[in-house]
Amino acid sequence: MTARLIDGKTASAALKQSVATAVAALKSKHGLVPGLATILVGEDPASEVYVASKQKTAHELGMTSTQHNLPAETTQAELLALVAKLNADKAVNGILVQMPLPKHLNAYEVQVATAVLKDVDGLHPESAGRLVTGGEGLVPCTPLGAMMMIKANVPDLAGKNAVVIGRSNLVGKPIASLLLNANCTVTIAHSKTKDLPAVCRTADILVVAAGQREMVRGDWVKPGATVIDVGIHRIPIEGGKTRIRGDVNFDEASQVAGAITPVPGGVGLMTVACLMVNTLKACCLQHGITDIEIPTTLPKA
């Protein structure tokens, strides 16, 4: 391997430390403690693990958090009623509805019903609009974390060619907006893109969020490029264990890239840390507080 490893463990630990410092300052200066409310519908084991880790991290950083477990047969009306209750609750600054929801529920309606300034997942259409138009708002956690990693590893982003594979509202579109807002020249590739390897070879920064295991090969990567692998794939192996891989063939790409995120241990670890950033930011936005430093960057690599 010749590429520098962009280590999510170190980065997320540093970010969480900055959030904890800011949470303490918010409490001492303004007497406020950010509150996160998580909603889990049904009993999907992976979702239960994710929500538990969000709750635990919020507590560790000095925030309050409450978990709402709803049965799998919850109706849309019942879910929306809970969201409305949390929207009105002053102790709740961030509302996170764990995805995916059971199939009979409409996730978009839930996102639209969430108060914009409590939308710590950044998925409300107004949050997306604020990001595109350069306004102050809440940005989806995974792209936010990926962007912090890019900023820490690429000193001058202006004019760099960035290629994003994937155009989901959750990852591809927001990371493309963040890169554009940082003055990169951005190409968004997707399943209909022609000659994807050639498009990728133009990238100084290659962000891969395609949901295709180890799709990006070594010869797709421009020598020296920064490669950010958002993909997460759990592959069952012997003994009931799982191996985790990304959307990039790490062994090949790490021979060519200048810097690369591993999977596991890369972008995924930043997602929960950025949820904490968003909960802190949501609290400050709701109270019009501007003298608390919301972490936006990581220490330089």
Contacting positions for ligand NDP (CB under 6 A)? 142, 165-168, 170-172, 189-193, 196, 209-212, 215, 230-232, 247, 267-268, 271
Closest CB 190 distance from ligand NDP, rounded Å: 4
Which residue's CB is nearer to ligand NDP, number 154 or number 196? 196
DSSP 192: T
Which residue's CB is nearer to ligand NDP, number 193 or number 202? 193
d(C-alpha 60, C-alpha 32), whole Å:
16
Spatial contact of 193 and 212, defined as CB atoms under 8 Å apart = no
Amino acid at 250: F
Q: Is 40 helix (H, G, I), strand (E, B) or coil?
A: strand
Amino acid at 135: G
Query: In angstroms, how far is CA 272 from the centroid of its own chain?
Result: 7
Which residue's CB is nearer to ligand NDP, number 12 or number 65? 12
Which residue's CB is nearer to ligand NDP, number 91 or number 107? 107
Residue nearest to ligand NDP (CB): 168
The question of whether 98 is a catalytic residue gets the answer: yes
Catalytic option among 55, 111, 121, 160: 121
The question of whether 76 is a catalytic residue gets the answer: no
CA–CA distance from 232 to each of 132, 179, 283 (Å)?
26, 22, 30
Which residue's CB is nearer to ligand NDP, number 170 or number 276? 170
Which residue's CB is nearer to ligand NDP, number 101 or number 165? 165
d(C-alpha 271, C-alpha 140), whole Å:
9
Tokens linked to 297: 């960057």
Closest CB 244 distance from ligand NDP, rounded Å: 10
Amino acid at 104: H
Q: Where do the DSSP E strands lie in the chain? A: 4-5, 35-41, 64-70, 94-97, 161-165, 185-189, 205-208, 226-229, 233-236, 242-245, 259-260
Closest CB 229 distance from ligand NDP, rounded Å: 9
Region class of 134: left (phi > 0), else alpha (psi between -120 and 50), else beta: left
The question of whether 195 is a catalytic residue gets the answer: no
d(C-alpha 177, C-alpha 183), whole Å:
10
Q: Which active-site residues does the annotation give?
A: 54, 98, 121
